[in-house]
Amino acid sequence: MKKFSEWFHNILEEAELIDSRYPIKGMSVWLPRGFQIRKYALKALQELLDKDHEEVLFPMLIPESELAKEAIHVKGFEDEVYWVTKGGKRDLNEQLALRPTSETSMYPMFSLWVRSHMDLPIKVYQTVNTFRYETKHTRPLIRVREITTFNETHTVHATEEEAEEEVKTGIEIYKTFFDELGIPYSISKRPEWDKFPGSKYTMAFDMIMPDGKTLQIGTVHNLGTTFAKTFDIEFENDEGEHEYAHQTCYGLSDRVIAALISAHGDEKGLQLPPVVAPEQVVIVPIIFKENQDVVLNFTDNLEKLLKSNGIRVRQDKRDMRPGKKYYEWEKRGVPLRIEVGPRDIENKSIVLIRRDTGNKEFIDYDENTIADVVRDTLDNITEDMKVSANKFQEEKTYSVENLEQVKKTINKKGGIVTFNWCGDTDCGKDMEEKFDIDVLGTQEADVSGPCLNCGKEAHYKALISKTY
Amino acid sequence: MKKFSEWFHNILEEAELIDSRYPIKGMSVWLPRGFQIRKYALKALQELLDKDHEEVLFPMLIPESELAKEAIHVKGFEDEVYWVTKGGKRDLNEQLALRPTSETSMYPMFSLWVRSHMDLPIKVYQTVNTFRYETKHTRPLIRVREITTFNETHTVHATEEEAEEEVKTGIEIYKTFFDELGIPYSISKRPEWDKFPGSKYTMAFDMIMPDGKTLQIGTVHNLGTTFAKTFDIEFENDEGEHEYAHQTCYGLSDRVIAALISAHGDEKGLQLPPVVAPEQVVIVPIIFKENQDVVLNFTDNLEKLLKSNGIRVRQDKRDMRPGKKYYEWEKRGVPLRIEVGPRDIENKSIVLIRRDTGNKEFIDYDENTIADVVRDTLDNITEDMKVSANKFQEEKTYSVENLEQVKKTINKKGGIVTFNWCGDTDCGKDMEEKFDIDVLGTQEADVSGPCLNCGKEAHYKALISKTY
Question: pLDDT for A429-440, tens place per residue?
Answer: 999 999 999 999
Residue A72 touches partner B, C-beta closer than 8 Å:
no
Q: Which of A341-350, B161-170, B173-182 has the lowest mean pLDDT?
A: A341-350
Do the beta carbons of residue B82 and residue B131 sit within 8 Å? yes
Please indicate whether, in this complex, the C-beta atoms of B87 and A83 are within 8 angstroms of each other.
yes
A84 to B88: CB separation less than 8 angstroms, yes or no: no
Mean pLDDT lowest for which of A49-53, B55-59, B339-343? B339-343
- Assess whether A232 and A360 both reside in one domain: no
Domain-embedded: residue B82: yes
B253/B362 same-domain check: no
**Cβ contacts of B255 within 8 Å, gap of 6 or more:** B141, B142, B215, B216, B217
Q: What pLDDT, on a 0 to 100 scale, did the predictor assign at position A32? A: 98
Are B175 and B28 in a shared domain? yes
Q: What is the pLDDT of residue A78?
A: 87
Interface contact flag, B27 A146, Cβ < 8 Å: no
Q: Measured between CB atoms, which of A38, A85, A135 is closest to B86?
A: A85
Question: Which residues 96-115 in chain B show a CB within 8 A of chain A?
Answer: 96, 98, 108-109, 112
Separation of alpha carbons A460 and A446, rounded Å = 8
**Residues constituting chain A:** 468
Instruction: Note the Cα A233 to chain centre separation in Å.
Output: 30
Identify whether the C-beta of residue A81 lies closer than 8 Å to the C-beta of residue B88.
Answer: yes
Whether residue B176 is contained in a domain is answered as yes
Q: How far is CA A115 from the centre of its chain?
A: 35
C-alpha to C-alpha distances, B152 to A205, B130, B148, nearest whole angstrom: 36, 11, 12
Q: Is residue B390 part of a domain?
A: no
Q: Identify the band that residue B1 occupies on the pLDDT scale cut at 50, 70 and 90.
A: low
Give pLDDT tens digits for B390-442: 999 999 999 999 999 999 999 999 999 999 999 999 999 999 999 999 999 99
- Chain-chain contact of B109 with A22 (C-beta, under 8 angstroms): yes
Nearest-angstrom CA–CA distance, A237 and B166 = 60
What pLDDT is recorded for position B77?
87
Alpha carbon distances (Å) from A347 to A366, B9, B183? 12, 69, 56
Residues 32-61 of A with CB under 8 A from B: 32, 35-36, 38-39, 54-61
pLDDT score, position A291:
81
Residue A171: the pLDDT is 98
Q: ipTM of the predicted structure?
A: 0.96
pLDDT in tens, A322-332: 999 999 999 99
State which amino acid sits at residue A227.
Answer: F
Nearest to A57 among B35, B59, B96 (CB): B35
Q: For residue A368, is it within any domain?
A: yes
B223 and B296 within one domain: no
Q: Are residues B415 and B311 in the same domain?
A: no
Which residues in A lie closer than 8 A to residue B144 (C-beta atoms)?
none
Residue A274 falls inside a structural domain: no
CATH of the domain at B424: 3.30.110.30
**Chain A residues touching B51 at Cβ < 8 A:** none
Confidence band, pLDDT 50/70/90 cuts, at residue B325:
very high
In this predicted structure, the answer to whether residue B71 has a pLDDT above a threshold of 90 is: no
pLDDT of residue B2: 60
* Residues on chain A touching B153 (C-beta within 8 angstroms): none
Q: Does A373 touch chain B (CB under 8 A)?
A: no
What are B307-318's pLDDT values in tens digits?
Answer: 999 999 999 999
Kindly state whether residues B30 and B109 are assigned to the same domain: yes
Give the residue from chain B lying closest to A17, CA to CA: B56
pLDDT value at position A74? 85
Q: Are residues A192 and A57 in the same domain?
A: yes
- Chain B closest CA to A101's CA: distance in Å? 15
Q: Do A81 and B87 make contact, defined as CB atoms within 8 angstroms?
A: yes
**How close B59 gets to chain A, by Cα (Å)?**
6
CA distance A406 to A409: 5
pLDDT at position A71 is 83
Averaged pLDDT of chain A? 96
Q: Do A59 and B88 touch (CB under 8 A)?
A: no
- Chain B residues near residue A140 by CB distance under 8 angstroms: none
Domain-embedded: residue A361:
yes
Surface of A (122-161) touching B: CB under 8 A? 124, 129, 133, 135, 146, 148
User: How many residues can be counted in chain B?
Assistant: 468
- Interatomic CA distance for residues B76 and A123, integer angstroms: 42
Q: How far is B384 from chain A (nearest CA, A)?
A: 31
Other CB atoms within 10 Å distance of the CB of residue B412: 8
A77-113 per-position pLDDT tens digit:
889 999 999 999 999 999 999 999 999 999 999 999 9
Q: Sorting pLDDT into bands at 50, 70 and 90, what band is B76? A: confident
pLDDT confidence of residue B8? 97
Q: In terms of domains, do A75 and A200 share one?
A: yes
Distance from CA of B304 to the nearest CA of A (A): 17
Residues in A closer than 8 angstroms to B133, CB to CB, are 87-88
The pLDDT assigned to A2 comes to: 59
Q: Mutate which of B83, B105, B111, B123 to test chain A, going by most A C-beta atoms within 10 A?
A: B83
Which band of pLDDT confidence, cut at 50, 70 and 90, is reported for residue A311? very high
Q: Looking at the domain assignment, is residue A385 inside a domain?
A: no
Note whether B80 contacts A: Cβ–Cβ < 8 A.
Answer: yes
Q: What count of Cα atoms within 13 Å lies in the side-chain half-sphere of residue A181?
A: 29
Q: Does A435 share its domain with A286?
A: no
Question: A235, A264, A293 — which closes off a domain?
Answer: A264
Q: Which residue has the higher pLDDT, A1 or B49?
A: B49
Of B31, B135, B146, the CB nearest to A59: B146
pTM reported for the whole predicted model: 0.96
Mapping DSSP onto H, E and C, the string for chain A reads CCCHHHHHHHHHHHCCCEECCCCCCCCCEECHHHHHHHHHHHHHHHHHHHCCCEECECCCEEEHHHHCCCHHHHHHHHHHCEEEEEECCEEEEEEEEECCCCHHHHHHHHHHHCCEHHHCCEEEEEEEEEECCCCCCCECCCECCEEEEEEEEEEEECCHHHHHHHHHHHHHHHHHHHHHHCCCCEEEECCHHHCCCCCCEEEEEEEECCCCCEEEEEEEEEEECHHHHHHCCEEECCCCCEEECEEEEEEECCHHHHHHHHHHCECCECCCCHHHCCCCEEEEECCCHHHHHHHHHHHHHHHHHHHHCCCCEEECCCCCCHHHHHHHHHHCCCCEEEEECHHHHHCCEEEEEECCCCCEEEEECCCCCHHHHHHHHHHHHHHHHHHHHHHHHHHCEEECCCHHHHHHHHHHHCCEEEEEECCCHHHHHHHHHHHCCEEEEEECCCCCCECCCCCCECCEEEEEECEC
Residue whose C-alpha is closest to residue A189's, from A443, A438, A398: A443
pLDDT of residue A73: 82
> CA B271 → CA A19, A203, A353, B180, B336, distances in Å?
43, 44, 52, 14, 10
Task: Answer with the one of B264, B294, B326 that is the final residue of a domain.
Answer: B264
Q: How far apart (Å, rounded) are the C-alpha atoms in residues A197 and B221?
A: 47
pLDDT at A288: 85
Q: Residue A369's domain spans which residues? A: 279-379
* Last residue within a domain, chosen from A219, A235, A264: A264
Q: What is the pLDDT of residue A75?
A: 87
* Of the partner residues B22, B60, B85, the one whose CB lies closest to the CB of residue A59: B22
Question: How far is the CA of A4 from the CAs of A143, A210, A264, B74, B210, in angstroms?
Answer: 16, 7, 13, 42, 61
CB pairs below 8 Å between A and B: how many?
142
Number of neighbours of residue B441 by Cβ within 10 angstroms: 25
Q: Which of B203-212, B404-413, B444-453 has the highest mean pLDDT?
A: B203-212
In chain A, residues with a C-beta closer than 8 Å to the C-beta of B31 are 56
pLDDT score at B277: 98
Contact criterion met (CB below 8 Å) for A223 and A160: no
pLDDT tens-place string over residues B119-157? 999 999 999 999 999 988 999 999 999 999 999 999 999
- B70/B229 Cα distance (integer angstroms): 9
Q: Are residues A420 and A328 in the same domain?
A: no
Residue A83 to residue B85, Cβ atoms within 8 A: yes
pLDDT at A39: 98
The pLDDT value recorded for residue A96 is 98
What is the reported pLDDT for A93? 95
* pLDDT reported for residue B93: 95
Is A55 close to B39, i.e. CB distance below 8 A? yes
What residue in B sits closest to A123 (Cα-Cα)?
Answer: B32
CATH number at residue A287: 3.40.50.800
Best of B82, B107, B126 to substitute, by most chain A Cβ atoms within 10 angstroms, is: B82
Examine residue A97 and state whether it is found in any structural domain, yes or no. Answer: yes
Nearest CA in chain B to A97: B84
Query: Is the predicted pLDDT of residue A1 greater than 70, yes or no?
Result: no
Q: Domain with B222 in it: what CATH number? A: 3.30.930.10
| Structural domain total, chain A | 3
| Residue of A24, A35, A55 with shortest CB distance to B59 | A24
- In this structure, the answer to whether residues B253 and B287 fall within a common structural domain is no
Mutate to test the interface with A, among B29, B109, B231 (most CBs of A within 10 A): B29
Residues of chain B with C-beta less than 8 angstroms from the C-beta of A35: 54-57
Angle between helix axes B255-264 and B370-395 (nearest 10 degrees) is 90
Q: Could you tell me if B39 and B142 lie in one domain?
A: yes
